[in-house]
Amino acid sequence: MKVYLDNGTTTQVAEEVIDAMLPYFTEKFGHPIFVYSLGQEAADAVEKTQEIIAKTINAKPGEIIFTSGATESNDLAIRGIAYANREKGNHIITTRVENPSVLRVCEKLERDGFRIDYLDVDPQGFVNLDQLQNLINEKTILVSVMHVNDEIGTIEPIKEIGKILREQKHKIYFHVNAAASYARVPIDVERMSIDAMSISAHKIHGPKGVGALYLRENTPIEPITYGYISLFKLKPGTENVPAIVGFGKAAELAFDGFEKNVEHMRKLRDKLMAGIEEKIQHVMLHGPRGDKRSPANVNYSFKYVEGESVLLHLDLNGISVATGSACSTRKLEPSHVLTAIGVKPEVAHGAIRFTLSRYNTAEEIEYVLEVLPRVIDNLRKISPIKPGAF
């Protein structure tokens, strides 16, 4: 049996998405900036996808800008808003558990003279709202907090953060990386007071290489790349129309029966968690339980074994999982997220992340719960580190 449980890294492209994209490689290949019929056909397809995605987050179609993915969306939102508002202030607040696509951008801004403060998180990964209040000052121009932590599944209090920022005496822009939450956790940019938000198609069974930035109307922002302007001034170059169409179809599929899809993933998540805790000793859950955890995320450390070894032995049994965030699986350092929540390095090295999709089944979870305890037991037998070492 083949079981794919690394949907937090990327997902299989749905067949309906492929079917929707194909015509835009062949008979509907026009450039969307031109007014002849082929071009207009492409432009209409882009506008339709703007409408589809805007509806899923309670935004306006014109507030959706297509990018190459959430990484570019994060960069554009954070640097673009920072540069456009640098005369008002140079202070930005983010968290210690952000994806590298946010942390690396903040490092760049620090080199450019901006001051970055990093919010601490508690042992379950939740940001400290009192610390946020205390860090805000008259030079604060932007706060960036991810909606769902892509490693440990923590759903951050985005609505509460938005309220704090809305109540300040001066405007502070709020950016949210929603790549791990879109189509898994409800999002309403109005109720959550979000000014900019990043999402990605390949996390929801769409194609790789396309994402979107929601940007609230009239938000000051500067482009970070320059060149030929087609439909979007902030994103120069010719639009990837087939991928954009695929993104729209993937969003339609994900939100058609959203509650049913989420409940399906939640049941599988809880089944997997219960089975792991019942069948395997010396495990540590990372992140919260229940409604404050992503329905698609399970992350445990299996003490006295290396996560890489677990991954490889599961792969030999047809099961695909991850040892950490998608951006750090080839590194030997412990996950920065697990370190931030206080996990010891020797425990963090034994962490395995399982991420679900609506296409996973109960039978697959049962197979994992049959194989995983055997793998852990075998690895512990040959491990030089024995129970009680930490």
Is the distance from CB of 157 to CB of 79 less than 8 angstroms? Answer: no
SS3 for the chain is: CCEECECCCCCCCCHHHHHHHHHHHCCCCCCCCCCCHHHHHHHHHHHHHHHHHHHHHCCCHHHEEEECCHHHHHHHHHHHHHHHCCCCCCEEEEECCCCHHHHHHHHHHHHCCCEEEEECECCCCCECHHHHHHHCCCCEEEEECCCECCCCCEECCHHHHHHHHHCCCCCCEEEEECCCCCCCCCCCCCCCCCCEEEEEHHHCCCCCCCEEEEECCCCCCCCCCCCCCCCCCCCCCCCCHHHHHHHHHHHHHHHCCHHHHHHHHHHHHHHHHHHHHHHCCCEEECCCCHHHECCCEEEEEECCCCHHHHHHHHHHCCEECECCCCCCCCCCCCCHHHHHCCCCHHHHCCEEEEECCCCCCHHHHHHHHHHHHHHHHHHHHHCCCCCCCC
Is the distance from CB of 28 to CB of 39 less than 8 angstroms? Answer: no
**Nearest alpha carbon to residue 187 among 151, 162, 218:** 162
**Nearest alpha carbon to residue 20 among 57, 45, 52, 39:** 45
d(CA 308, CA 310): 5
Is position 327 annotated as part of the catalytic site?
yes
Is the distance from CB of 70 to CB of 326 less than 8 angstroms? Answer: no
> Of the residues 327, 339, 346, 366, which is catalytic?
327
Is the distance from CB of 209 to CB of 68 less than 8 angstroms? Answer: yes
Active centre residues (catalytic): 327
